Chains A and B, each alone.
Chain A
Amino acid sequence: MSSSVRRQLLPHEIIFEILSWLPVCSLLRFKCVSRQWSSTIQDLAFVDVHMKRAIGGWVYRSASEDPHDPAAEQIYISRCRGLILEKSKGARKYRLRNPSTREILHLPAPDENVLCCMRLCYITSTNEFKLVYPYTNGADENGGVKILTVGTNATWRIVEFPFSCKLGIVRIDIKVLDEVYYMIRLPKSAGTCDAEIVCLELKNEQISRIKIPDGLFLDWRRVGAVDWEGKMSLGAVEKEKLHVWVLESVREQKWADRKIVIPLTFMKEKPERHDIFPCALHDIGLVINSDHSGELLVVDIVSGNIVQRVGAPEGEQFLYYNEPSLLHLEGMQPETESN
């Protein structure tokens, strides 16, 4: 008995589930099947479920730059929910690109030529994307942040720091976690100024500051922000060990009572290396960026040994991690050679 004789119809909840396992390319095609399928595939709840199930992967680029490669025209800045924020190399032009649907959205240019501190952030409750970067009016002036809410008629807005905070004379590190944009203000050398964390709550755009207690670290030059299972923390590699202080509560400005010390046993082979940048603790282990080899290392936090190495293929370098997503923002257009 063939299926055409029986003509079973699947209930829509089963169709929804089946579709959620398909690659983006198939779904863009199957939007044509019927109006019901089309609206399911564009539904935000479906896009969310699909994004959680889709398997991502690293995107690489040739280490030797080819000037004719159109991809080399863009500098990768940040990513969020499958969207890539990038800037044109030659001009102050910014855009969002969904590499899975091959659509782009041009963004209004900010006043400054920003790269490393700009982040693309998402606010779940309002389903909004915001671009954020800190600015300063010079070494002695008070600064603030500039924010763009992505959407029609979007313009950059200024939110000044409600307290005196001079970013010009310090090193800053940026981390976005749990809808908070953290600016970690670190002294360039010991004793030049107080270290602190300036927090921007992305939803209501409230700015607060958290003092970093004195004496947390011996050498401030090696301190960086680490995503500690979703919590903001500061980490520094000292003598083959990673020292971590976790910020337990942003609102209460509460730091963990004790410092966490993780052995980095693998460093014993080469104790003097200074290219180790811990970036996050996930369930797979401690993820470390290694500048020198361009590798990502995953370290077991009990043994301190490397359990996984993710390296780019010969002659290529990491560009970004792509999370396949069906996300389409209003105003997005198909990417063509000319745009």
Chain B
Amino acid sequence: MARKNRNPVGKNVDPEAQKKKTRTLTLKSSDGQEFSISESAAVLSIAIENMVEDDCAGGVIPLPLVDGGTLARVITYLNKHAEDGASDEEKRKFDEEFVSGMEMGVLFDVVLAANYLDIRGLLREVRRRIADRMKNKSVEWVRKTFHIESDFTPEEEEQMKKEFAWAWEGVDSDVDD
């Protein structure tokens, strides 16, 4: 198997891999939208791969935790990463552009979907992107964005702020992005 996969011409490719490329699956989002995707792209999601192996993929795979808009984005990602001949550099560039235009709410949706579908590369990329977006933000911005209510008293908060006052310097103004 390993030797076959290493064949650079690709003539004697694994017949099983070839079948996966031509076989399509249908993924169904929480709001009832259906998407066709090649099996080879779909199984980059470990969760989908398990469903296919368990043969629960009688035709349509329901994904009740992912809405249509998010699923469309995830499928774009999977298709790129399953593309024949896409170099690592190309994929890296794609990943960067893929997440760069997304607003925070969309990043949250995608990170949840990637977590649920177990797509490691996408999960890593989005988590880093979220971190990058929040690093210069204020505490208030973070609470609002992550829907967290403070459980510190104002006195405790003041005390913590005093301890590391320098860490509050140079924080972005809370413009929404």
Contact = CB atoms under 8 A, between A and B. Distances in A.
A11 B115 contact: yes
A91 interface: no
A224 B134 CA distance: 46
Nearest to B145: A3
Interface in A1-40: 1-4, 6-11, 14-15, 17-23, 25-26, 28-35, 37-38
A28 B135 contact: no
Contacts of B131: 18-22
A13 to B, nearest CB: 8
A10 B136 contact: no
A19 B131 CA distance: 7
Contact of A25 (B112, B128, B167): B167
Q: Which of B109, B161, B166, B167 has the most CB of A within 10 A?
A: B167
B143 A33 contact: yes
Given A10-B108, A34-B150, A18 B130 contact: yes
A190 B3 CA distance: 56
A102 interface: yes
A324 B157 CA distance: 24
Contacts of B108: 3, 8, 10
Contacts of B142: 30, 33
Contacts of A3: 103-106, 108, 145
Interface centre among A2, A3, A17, A25 (most CB of B within 10 A): A3
B166 A14 contact: no
Contacts of A11: 115
Given A19-B131, A33-B148, 6 more contacts: A3-B145, A9-B146, A14-B115, A22-B134, A26-B134, A32-B157
B11 interface: no
Contacts of A35: 151-152
Assign chain B's interface to a size class. Answer: 35 or more
A29, A34, A37 — which one has the most chain B CB atoms within 10 A of its CB? A29
Nearest to B107: A3
Contacts of B106: 3
Given A23-B135, A29-B164, A6 B111 contact: no
A16 to B, nearest CB: 10
B112 A28 contact: no
B93 interface: no
Contacts of B112: 8, 10, 14
A162 interface: no
A5 B135 CA distance: 24
Contact of A7 (B147, B149, B151, B163): B147
B134 A29 contact: no
B86 interface: no
Interface in A117-162: none
A7 B132 CA distance: 21
B56 interface: no
Contacts of A20: 131
B17 interface: no
A11 B146 CA distance: 11
A3 to B, nearest CB: 3
A18 B143 CA distance: 15
Interface in B150-177: 150-152, 157, 160-161, 163-164, 166-168, 171
A334 to B, nearest CB: 6
A37 B160 CA distance: 13
Nearest to A20: B131
A141 to B, nearest CB: 48
Contact of A22 (B135, B148, B151, B152): B135
Contacts of A322: none
B19 interface: no
A25 B144 CA distance: 20
A334 B145 CA distance: 30
A325 interface: no
A233 interface: no
Contacts of B168: 29
Of A15, A30, A334, chain B has the most CB atoms within 10 Å of the CB of A30
B127 A32 contact: no
